Amino acid sequence: MCAASQLQKASYDAEIPFEEIHRRSENLQKAIEATKMEDNSNPVISILCDGAQEKYSAMVGLEQEELRRRMIATAEIFRHTSHLYVYRITHGVEEPLTSDMEESLQTALQLLTQVPDALGPGANLGWCLVVLGAELDLLDQRDYIRSRWYSMHLLGIYNTKSGEKILEAVWNHRDLVRSGLATPARWQDIMKDMGEHQILV
């Protein structure tokens, strides 16, 4: 994610030629693909609040196999979302997704249903919701993303509210573009116009 963010900034600031941006993006896509997790993987994670009187974990209440399944799904959501993020560095928002990128989008949306709430790994999907959501026009898909924000808010994960606000603005802008009332804009530009500078995951 760090390398992708640096590449996006270099592209936006025109620090290096487009040909080099394109070359680096292709290499980054290959590196992202190499991080694929198979269904039989056994990831390890530990999120603890050691400073408290008692130790708390974001994994409380999840059976081990269910936790493993959600962890793999979450990692794959991040992988597919990263593919889309890097793709948009070299392709304007007015350009349709390639078949590979459309497959990543649909796979990520399907995987979201395997992480059905914000308990456990699902608490870290704020950035993914913005990047995935920025590609969506269908109302039922947007409503599903809204429901994910709502679940996070119910559990007190309020640092994602800026992401939700940005995505709603992106959707409003996409609708204006489709109506011929605005020109296409990247979600990062809309974020900056709103005075927002980051999306917390």
pTM: 0.86
| pLDDT level of residue 62 (50, 70, 90 thresholds) | low
The pLDDT assigned to 201 comes to: 45
Q: What is the mean pLDDT of the chain?
A: 86
The pLDDT assigned to 51 comes to: 55
Domain count along the chain:
1
Interval 92-119 mean pLDDT: 92
Answer whether residue 44 shows pLDDT above 80.
no
The pLDDT assigned to 72 comes to: 93
Buried b (16+ CB within 10 A) or exposed e, 77-103: bbbbbbbbbbbbbbeebeeebeeebee
| Domain with 81 in it | 1-200
The pLDDT assigned to 56 comes to: 44
Answer whether residue 58 shows pLDDT above 60.
no
